[in-house]
A and B are shown apart, each in its own frame.
Chain A
Amino acid sequence: KQEVTQIPAALSVPEGENLVLNCSFTDSAIYNLQWFRQDPGKGLTSLLLIQSSQREQTSGRLNASLDKSSGRSTLYIAASQPGDSATYLCAVDWGTSGSRLTFGEGTQLTVNP
Chain B
Amino acid sequence: NAGVTQTPKFQVLKTGQSMTLQCAQDMNHNSMYWYRQDPGMGLRLIYYSASEGTTDKGEVPNGYNVSRLNKREFSLRLESAAPSQTSVYFCASKPAGYYNEQFFGPGTRLTVL
Do residues A106 and B42 form an inter-chain contact, with CB atoms below 8 A?
yes
Main secondary structure on B side of the interface with A: strand
Main secondary structure on A side of the interface with B: strand
Do residues A43 and B105 form an inter-chain contact, with CB atoms below 8 A?
yes
Do residues B98 and A101 form an inter-chain contact, with CB atoms below 8 A?
no
In the complex, which residues of chain B have a beta carbon less than 8 angstroms from the beta carbon of A63? none
Q: How far, in whole Å, are A32 and B41 apart by their CA atoms in the complex?
A: 22
Stretch at the interface among A12-20, A67-75, A89-97: A89-97
**What size tier do the contact residues of chain B reach?**
20 to 34
Give the residue of A99, A104, A106 whose beta carbon is less than 8 angstroms from that of B31: A99
Kindly state whether residue B15 has any CB partner on chain A within 8 Å.
Answer: no
Do residues A31 and B106 form an inter-chain contact, with CB atoms below 8 A?
no
Residue of B nearest to A95 (CB): B98
Kindly state whether residue B58 has any CB partner on chain A within 8 Å.
Answer: yes
Which residues in A have some Cβ–Cβ distance to B below 8 Å?
Answer: 31-32, 34, 36, 42-46, 49, 51, 89, 91, 93, 95, 97-101, 103-106
**Inter-chain pairs besides A43-B105, A91-B102, A100-B33, 16 sampled, C-beta below 8 Å:** A32-B99, A44-B43, A46-B101, A46-B102, A49-B101, A51-B99, A89-B43, A97-B50, A98-B56, A99-B31, A99-B94, A99-B98, A100-B45, A100-B58, A101-B102, A105-B41
